[in-house]
Amino acid sequence: MTRSHQAESSRFYARDGSGVVYELDSADGRKKIRPDVRHARKHGFLWSFSAISRSLAKPSLEQWRIDRAVETAIGTERLPGETDDSYITRIGSLTKEAQELTIDRGTEIHAQLKDFFTEGADPPDPACKTAVIQISSWLSGLGIELVESEKVFTNIELGYGGTIDLYGCSTGKPLSILADFKSTNLHKYRKPYFENGLQLVAYLDGVKAPPGTRLFTIPIDQESGECRFIEWDFKADWSIDELREAWKALYTAFAIQHKYDPRAWKGDPT
């Protein structure tokens, strides 16, 4: 996994706004360690959106995992003399490998899109090049001229941080957009899920986006790079206020569960 898209895999963001906390020095200073909630309490780290959202049930994700396991089982013959337990274990390992390949592919797509929008680097992958062309054309059609990719934000007042896939605005009119990429099989993709809206609204508030900012989910086909641009209709599904209240409730429950709320942090207790 490249550092360019590691942000949301980390649990914490620095309170001073310096970004994601990937690692810390150990107590004896001899090695690097991954921070946990004890370090967060000491340093006042902010929770990442992803850490909190993992506590939310995601039926669509679970169904995807089940489907991959079934597909693996269908395509994998039992070995001569293989026991049930051995076969199940082997199917589990093969399924995990397939899932990791899918996740890695998504990470690769995110990284190449970031490199293009931040550095102008031409994507070496044909599918990513297709995605870049379609996203650039879409942005141009909206009148978006200034774009930030993988924009990291921290919000001390709200107690969390996150990394926005695409954040853009226009210099000539009061227009801004906030978008999240979803690498997927576009032929099977139907519509964004509740948790996708929760993420966009949490980012909207966390980054203090201007009023009227338009929110989009952009599914990208992992093989072809074809994109679909889905603007959230808060009248058809959940309202922004409903998603905002749901996010606040989830945050509070998570903070209670882990006995740490960055919003109430008053300095190193030691």
Looking at the chain, the whole-number percentage of residues with pLDDT higher than 70 is 95
Provide the number of structural domains found in the chain. Answer: 1
On whether residue 79 sits in a domain, the answer given is: yes
166: left (phi over 0), alpha (psi -120 to 50) or beta: beta
Please tell me the distance from the alpha carbon of residue 136 to that of residue 23, in angstroms, as a whole number: 35
On whether residue 106 sits in a domain, the answer given is: yes
Q: Supply the range of the domain harboring residue 33.
A: 3-264
On whether residue 31 sits in a domain, the answer given is: yes
Classify residue 68 as exposed, middle or buried by CB count within 10 Å of its CB (0-12, 13-18, 19+): middle
Residue 204 belongs to a domain with what CATH number? 3.90.320
**HEC string of 126-179?**
HHHHHHHHHHHHHHHHHCCCEEEEEEEEEECCCCEEEEEEEEEECCCCCCEEEE
Please tell me the distance from the alpha carbon of residue 82 to that of residue 22, in angstroms, as a whole number: 42
Query: Which structure tokens are listed for 246?
Result: 């749901």
**pLDDT number for residue 270:** 52
On whether residue 183 sits in a domain, the answer given is: yes
Please tell me the distance from the alpha carbon of residue 131 to that of residue 181, in angstroms, as a whole number: 11
On whether residue 270 sits in a domain, the answer given is: no
Q: Give the mean pLDDT of the chain.
A: 90
**pLDDT number for residue 8:** 43
On whether residue 29 sits in a domain, the answer given is: yes
Query: Whole-model pTM?
Result: 0.86
Query: Which structure tokens are listed for 79?
Result: 């070995």
Closest CA to 169 of 201, 113, 212: 212
Average pLDDT over residues 154-169: 95
**pLDDT number for residue 59:** 77
Query: Which structure tokens are listed for 160?
Result: 């969390």
On whether residue 269 sits in a domain, the answer given is: no
Give the pLDDT confidence of 72-125 residue by residue, as tens digits.
999 999 999 999 999 999 999 999 998 898 889 999 999 999 999 999 999 999
Give the pLDDT confidence of 177-215 residue by residue, as tens digits.
999 999 999 998 999 999 999 999 999 999 999 999 999
Please tell me the distance from the alpha carbon of residue 230 to that of residue 192, in angstroms, as a whole number: 8
Location of structure tokens 């991959």: 68
On whether residue 36 sits in a domain, the answer given is: yes
